[in-house]
Structure 1
Amino acid sequence: MANWAQKLKLHHLQTLVALGEQGNLTHVARMMNISQPALSKWLSQLEDEIGITLFERHSKGLRPSEGGKLLLQHAQRLINDLERSQYEIARFKQGGLVGSLKIGCSPVATDCVSQAILSLLNEMPTLHLNIEEKVMTPLLHDLLAGQVDVVVGRVGGRALQLPLNYQVLYTEPVCFVARPHHPLAARAQIAWSDLAHWRWIVWPTGTPIRISIDNALVDNGVMLPENTIESASMNVSTNLLQSSDMISILSLRLAQRYASQGHCPMFLLSIPTMLRIHDVIGSTF
């Protein structure tokens, strides 16, 4: 291990993370109760020891360099691990079994995660679980930062380029959905030209399912309608579907779950052949 890493202490890691978040030496110096010149000197010395520029200086403050982002990622993970160890030791002192797991899941994977949790608790009944539901992009950011231990959701696109381990759990088709009395609901087959007349609700740009949809459209020479709504909120999306003639694209399993629960009935529209794509659901750790 390099000497510079051996010299770093917890408050150094906290200072680095604060610099990454604040981007201002004066503000961070005040937060850490040190002088601004002392902080600037320490940062310069650290950069000299590491041999790279951690923060780029500009007129408005500091911006992490690519190397700085890498160090900040590890610093945040170490801080999170230490905070968790404090929690688990406190549980141990109170007589509880040490063990915790933070799970991040996307909306499409909630059924899969729920089943896995029940099996896990049968084997480890005193395990402390923390479950967070988001779309994949912020979940993967949380995973890289050490804020969650495992992520279950759609796998694909730029996510596969991240330095993470992946395991495919299953694949399933995606489908167009709309409210039961939508004008398209009575049609046996729907063409692209039919879908183009209605406002779409789609997942945000950059999410795995959106990338798959965009790629499928490009491959077949069609474009996403201009008046689409990007939504990462299933509650908002389902409310809009119930209250309007908008259409959306969901994984088949998720669409069937919402339809079977009754609180958000949907009609699965027949998908044009050119738009048939599959959702890859996997765990990332």
Structure 2
Amino acid sequence: MEKPYNEYSREGIEIHTDSFRDDTLLRTGLKLNHLRMIVAIEDHGQISAAAEAMAISQPAASRMLSEMEAIVKVPLYERIARGVVLTSFGSALAKRARKILLELREASREIGELRTGKGGSVYIGAVTAPAISLVVPAIRRVTRNYPGIAINIQVETSNVLARELLAAHHDFIISRIPDELNPRLFAAHELGVEKACLIVRNGHPLLEKGVVSLKDLPGHDWVFQPPGTLLRRRVEDVFLAAGVPLPENIVNTSSLLLTLAVVCKTDAIAPIAVDMAEFICGQTSRAGEACILPIDFDIDVKPYSLITARERAMPPSARLLYDLILEEGRRGT
């Protein structure tokens, strides 16, 4: 159990509570690289991984941590079986460090935009369905009216996107808040429910049945997102609720391109978002060799939301795209 801070000492660290002033950390030499290191330790949970993220050696990272503890005069981390974990002092410092680094990133971004005369840049993440149904129409509107804005998009699972948002890699995301993360860290506006379907290649034997039932599916090969992802869990829940055996022959991949390649070249079945399926199956490329499999059951996934990190301000360019996506979402409900 962690001791009160005025009684805690480790490796020669002595704490004198009456010696702290508002500018103590600045006067005693805390640097930006120290802030980057404490954030990297929180993100990776290992000194070696934090060192790699900062492109320095592990001994250099260890020295940097020792410097930080000497400056703040409290223990910032503890060693555990699989790496390190921040103490309450380290967590408090990491929280503030993350905000400071974000503000510096935004300052650099704003100065760069002013210097080049561009209209700004936006960093967003989205799960597949709203990336097509909401982000693309909003991008069309914003680039038509504000052609100088640079838009950067990552399409990934909710688990990845939420952590990227907390790490300040995105201005906002369109996804779900993972169960394992504290919802108090986010602000969210629900936009809609993602509907999924099953795709197969043209000429697949199941297409001869007309409308397919769950009991027709277990014996076939499948392409799924990795275990634990939301769409996969939802499809598995549909099977379990109906008392139908789960598929056994499975290829696991988070790559949509690889999913399509496997589906088009084999008799495998894959669940994907309806918006994505309708887009893909309407193309004249090889991707268009896939088609939607008619089924007599629904695959409704957990609602997705427009999510920001709580207490973090967005730059004007990001706010503009955020508002347009929110408008698109409300129009579709």
One-letter amino acid of the structure 2 residue matched with residue 269 of structure 1: L
Alpha-carbon distance in structure 2 between the residues aligned to 1:236 and 1:100: 30
Alpha-carbon distance in structure 1 between the residues aligned to 2:71 and 2:237: 47
Alpha-carbon distance in structure 1 between the residues aligned to 2:145 and 2:193: 27
Q: Residue 108 in 1 paired to residue 129 in 2? A: yes
TM-aligned CA distance change 1:250 to 1:18, over 3 Å: closer
Alpha-carbon distance in structure 1 between the residues aligned to 2:260 and 2:222: 12
The one-character-per-residue Cα deviations of 1:228-277 (angstroms, maximum 9, x if unpaired) are 1221100000000000000011121111110011321322223243x543
Greater CA drift, 208-217 or 102-111: 208-217
Q: Residue 253 in 1 paired to residue 253 in 2? A: no
TM-aligned CA distance change 1:36 to 1:54, over 3 Å: closer
SS at 2:35's partner residue? helix
Equivalent residues in 2 for 1:67-78, closer than 5 Å: 67=88, 68=90, 72=94, 75-76=97-98, 78=100
Alpha-carbon distance in structure 1 between the residues aligned to 2:98 and 2:61: 23
Q: For structure 1, which runs of at least 5 residues remain unmatched after alignment?
A: none
The one-character-per-residue Cα deviations of 1:86-120 (angstroms, maximum 9, x if unpaired) are 132133134444x3311112333332211111222
Equivalent residues in 2 for 1:196-215, closer than 5 Å: 196-215=218-237
The Cα RMSD (Å) is: 3.5
Q: 2:192·2:303 contact (CA, 8 Å) conserved in 1?
A: yes
Equivalent residues in 2 for 1:30-45, closer than 5 Å: 39-40=65-66, 42-43=68-69
Q: 2:217·2:247 contact (CA, 8 Å) conserved in 1?
A: no
TM-aligned CA distance change 1:157 to 1:133, over 3 Å: closer
Q: 2:47·2:62 contact (CA, 8 Å) conserved in 1?
A: no
Greater CA drift, 111-120 or 161-170: 161-170
Q: Residue 93 in 1 paired to residue 115 in 2? A: yes
1:182 Cα deviation after fit: 0.4
Alpha-carbon distance in structure 1 between the residues aligned to 2:271 and 2:21: 52
The one-character-per-residue Cα deviations of 1:179-199 (angstroms, maximum 9, x if unpaired) are 111000111232323100111
Alpha-carbon distance in structure 2 between the residues aligned to 1:211 and 1:5: 50
One-letter amino acid of the structure 2 residue matched with residue 268 of structure 1: I
TM-score by length of 2: 0.69
SS at 1:277's partner residue? strand
Match of 2:327 in 1: none
Q: 1:77·1:145 contact (CA, 8 Å) conserved in 2?
A: no
Query: Identity over aligned residues, as a percent?
Result: 23
Alpha-carbon distance in structure 2 between the residues aligned to 1:71 and 1:205: 34
The one-character-per-residue Cα deviations of 1:137-193 (angstroms, maximum 9, x if unpaired) are 21111101111011124x365277532122222224211110111000111232323
TM-aligned CA distance change 1:195 to 1:32, over 3 Å: closer
Match of 2:261 in 1: 239
Match of 2:307 in 1: 284
1:227 Cα deviation after fit: 2.3
Q: 1:73·1:144 contact (CA, 8 Å) conserved in 2?
A: no
Q: 2:195·2:274 contact (CA, 8 Å) conserved in 1?
A: yes
Greater CA drift, 30-39 or 224-233: 30-39
Alpha-carbon distance in structure 1 between the residues aligned to 2:200 and 2:118: 48
TM-score by length of 1: 0.79
Equivalent residues in 2 for 1:162-173, closer than 5 Å: 162=183, 163-173=185-195
Q: For structure 2, which runs of at least 5 residues remain unmatched after alignment?
A: 1-19, 309-333
TM-aligned CA distance change 1:4 to 1:65, over 3 Å: farther
Residue from 211, 214, 217 that aligns with 2:239: 217
Alpha-carbon distance in structure 2 between the residues aligned to 1:84 and 1:104: 18
Match of 1:269 in 2: 293
SS at 1:137's partner residue? helix
1:126 Cα deviation after fit: 2.5
